[in-house]
Structure 1
Amino acid sequence: MARRPAQAEPLHAARLSEAELRVGIARLNKRVVALEGFDPNTVQNQFDDPGIEALKASIADALDRTFGNNTVERRRYRNAAEFDTGPINMYQDTSIQEVRHAVKASRDRNLALLKQAVSSLEEQLEELGTDAGDRAGNNDEVARSPSRKIFVVHGHDDGARETVARFIERIGFEAIILHEQANRGRTVIEKVEAHGDVGFAVVLLTPDDVGGQSAEALNQRARQNVILELGYFIGLLTRERVCALRKGDVEIPSDFAGVVYQTFDEGGGWKTALARELQDVGYDVDWNKVMR
């Protein structure tokens, strides 16, 4: 007797908590940054290109961990982990120009899908916050004060890092410097998640690297890991809770519109600017300590 084919498990909507939404936004934003940094002109082969394969695996993993299996959202954004590498020609090799053109089109599509996924999660998070605020108002609950912990993200400039961290501590906050945290084999993101109550991040953009469109037009840049972590914290905390301190003529990333950039000047004007940003998002700031 013939057996009926097994029916596919029906799809369901992903139900994410506030913490899961925040982590998911940060995770997908990291893949957005990776895609934006991927240059299709580096592709050398139509099939099994290492850079493309690594991106596909990374994006698929991020979608799996964010939305789970058999969810409407995982199905909706599945194409973000796929790359077209051009037509298959039976009689001659596809030109590398055709391959790169197809890869670029795929990259642009994948970026659009991932950004839409992030936007959707941000909207859910906003709605969740509104609902929670309404419930709190109805119950006459007292709003909880934000954590006094602040992440400090930095490059190779140890002096700038120490100056910022000690100022943060002087005005009554706790500076969390990732490299000072016990490693225990954890990734940066795992270290961040271990401090889930941190409510603000200061990112130091110091001129540690150089780069540009050509050897004749090189600009001073922050380290790549600092830029990636900037994107991560924007997704995790929102733009209002991230302050980037720019030292010298370091190039400003164009991908992070809306982030507050302050000049890390020798005169110390950045201290007042940072304190004002903290106050604007709800922190109590002792201005006597700031001006000391």
Structure 2
Amino acid sequence: MDAGSAQAGEESSPGSEESSRGSEESSRGRAAGAETGEGPARAGAAGEGPAREEPGTERLEKAVRAAEHALIEYEIAVETFRVEVENFSRLHHQRLGPVYARLDELDAQIAEAVAARTGDPDDIRKADEKRGAVLPMPQVEELFFGWIDSSGMLPEAQAMLNEQPVSPPSRVRPSEEARKAYRDLVRKAHPDLTQDEAERERREAFLVRVNKAYADGDAAALAALAEEWEAGPLPEPLAELLRSEELYARLEWLAQRKEVLAQMAAELEESAIGAMLKLAPDDPDTLLEEIAEQLLGQVSERESELARLRES
């Protein structure tokens, strides 16, 4: 992930290094197995207790574990950045939408004042264009019961359709307490840490709740989920140990999953909001305040310009 992204950048680099080390160890493990002349080796599932000692599998098991943990760290980085992009978008619309609307109205009034003074057809055309950009489409709100306006679906409506809180978040980046609890929970409960299908489904359902609590910035809910996880059933070990061929397949799957996450990360970074967040990777909430100050300054300048035009 790009080092410039707010959260993904600072957390993905260690994962990338671990993944590289894992790939190197995988290659060495493959070579070691070939030199022994043994048949297919048997190894324990990653994270499921000690495996039976057989030539050529110890390094391969380590490579799988390293790749799994690297993937989880990268996924945490992508998800935390996605939450920040979404929160920034909603807060930007809530806090700055009225300011943008005020700027559009002032631009229209200035253009109309200029056109009234000059009578120039080109100035009149520009004034009409500015005014047309401000006026809402008639009766659109009534058609969709207030869920959509002339610029598209309202954030509150989008939140309801996506089963998110209707009220915008209080800040772009959740608190450090929530972020730490979230990372710890994902590292413990991630579905990729098990090969058992039933246990994987249980973990996936649990992480849906974890992701929602983090997106809400709800540290208390995350703490309750941490207690629930600690008190929950431990995954049972697999009945059979994984063969070395399956471990190689596991490494290939992890690499493919990393490619999917990398694509998601790239799309987030290339979005308009993602690009804005790169301007303030350490404190995106302050960036909103700075943008608001700049916009209010532009409003003041336009109000002064409009006053001069009307007085002259």
TM-score, normalising length: structure 2: 0.26
Of structures 1 and 2, the larger Rg is shown by: 2
Which protein has greater RCO, CA pairs closer than 8 Å, 6+ apart? 2
TM-score, normalising length: structure 1: 0.27
